[in-house]
């Protein structure tokens, strides 16, 4: 008789408040043969709190290539495995994608056990449009990559959702201001579901000022929500604005307009007016070579 295979459960855990652990997550975690956890010590604390004694195995970015085949073999031989991350939903800026993809490829059953997720939790209470949104995870660490990455999001009309740590929030805010404009509306959702949960609402510059003057706002974990590009309602203009801003950083307006026209196909007159409106490209210093 053919042996039946097990299942891979993808189990969400709380992002701070243990009251958010679902009954189903507890049941699944106590009944599976093996729990694959991003950080076994962290998960052990959670399991101990709920009196769960299932066996744990470490599964993280650095060992997934060697551990994933073992987990898949366990499932194929009939055992049930649960995947958890340190907090929230696995795979969402957390390990697990390659395991789930490989399980699907092998035709194994993958069962989601939903629960907390910081992005959705923040969006649900931010008061920014929630009919269309784009989750983009953590911004790149280096400034030039971050600016280019943000520039690529400038035309997005849905609410943007980013993850960030309190330590890097001021640098990231400065770059959001530069790439998307200082007047974009933002919501910073900090320490969600925890004792010091805070929602700060304002423009980029207002929030940067607020956080600069209050070190507490730089502690802990943050979700950054950015209002989508609703100012223009015109994706061509949004792209032209983005290109002009970048070129205007190092070129005088006339040159920036000429190149932006070739890159975007927007007429020079319109770009020139836009450049004046945005005040780009005018304060570029003339170097000795050019003088």
Residues that bind ligand SAM (CB under 6 A): 15-16, 85, 87-89, 92-94, 117-119, 163-165, 189-194, 221-223
Radius of gyration of the chain (CA): 24
CB of 83 to ligand SAM, least distance (A): 11
Query: Which residue is at the shortest CB distance from ligand SAM?
Result: 88
User: What is the nearest approach in angstroms of ligand SAM to the Cβ of residue 137?
Assistant: 8
The CB-of-220 to ligand SAM minimum distance in angstroms stands at 7
Give the residue with the Cβ less far from ligand SAM, 77 or 138: 138
For ligand SAM, the closer of residues 16 and 151 by Cβ is 16
Quote helix, strand, coil % in the chain, to nearest 5: 45, 20, 40
CA–CA gap between residue 85 and residue 245 (Å, rounded): 40
Closest by alpha carbon to 118, among 152, 70, 165? 165
What would you measure as the largest C-alpha separation in the chain, in angstroms? 86
Length of the chain measured in residues: 291
CB of 93 to ligand SAM, least distance (A): 4
Min. distance of Cβ 23 from ligand SAM in angstroms? 19
Please say which residue, 56 or 136, places its beta carbon nearer to ligand SAM.
136
CB of 282 to ligand SAM, least distance (A): 37
Residue (93 or 205) nearer to ligand SAM, CB: 93
Contacts of 95 (CB under 8 A, 6+ apart): 38, 59, 60, 61, 64, 85
Nearer to ligand SAM, 16 or 281 (CB): 16
β-pairing, 7-11 vs 221-226, is unpaired
Residues in CB range of 236: below 8 A, 6 or more apart: 264, 266
**Residue with Cβ nearer ligand SAM (68 or 83):** 83
């Amino acid at each position: 008789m053919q042996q039946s295979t097990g299942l891979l459960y993808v189990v969400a855990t709380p992002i701070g408040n243990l009251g958010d652990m679902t009954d189903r997550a507890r049941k699944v975690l106590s009944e599976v043969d093996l729990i694959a956890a991003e950080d076994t010590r962290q998960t052990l604390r959670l399991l101990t709190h709920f009196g769960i004694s299932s066996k744990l195995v470490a599964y993280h970015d650095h060992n997934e290539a060697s551990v994933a085949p073992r987990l898949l073999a366990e499932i194929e031989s009939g055992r049930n495995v649960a995947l958890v991350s340190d907090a929230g939903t696995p795979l969402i800026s957390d390990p697990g994608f390659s395991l789930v993809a490989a399980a699907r490829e092998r035709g194994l059953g993958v069962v989601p056990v939903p629960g907390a997720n910081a992005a959705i939790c923040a969006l649900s209470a931010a008061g920014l449009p929630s009919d269309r949104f784009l989750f983009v995870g953590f911004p790149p660490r280096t400034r030039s990559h971050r600016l280019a990455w943000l520039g690529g999001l400038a035309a997005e009309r849905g609410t943007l959702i980013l993850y960030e740590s309190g330590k890097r929030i001021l640098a990231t805010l400065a770059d959001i201001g530069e790439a998307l404009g200082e007047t974009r509306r933002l919501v910073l959702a900090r320490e969600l579901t925890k004792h010091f949960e805070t929602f700060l609402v304002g423009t980029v510059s207002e929030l940067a000022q607020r956080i600069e003057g209050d070190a507490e706002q730089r502690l802990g974990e943050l979700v950054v929500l950015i209002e989508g590009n609703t100012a223009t309602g015109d994706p061509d203009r949004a792209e032209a604005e983005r290109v002009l801003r970048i070129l205007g950083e190092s070129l005088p307006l006339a040159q920036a307009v000429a190149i932006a026209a070739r890159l975007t196909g927007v007429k020079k007159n319109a770009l020139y007016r836009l450049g004046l409106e945005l005040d780009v490209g005018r304060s570029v210093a003339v170097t000795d070579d050019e003088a």
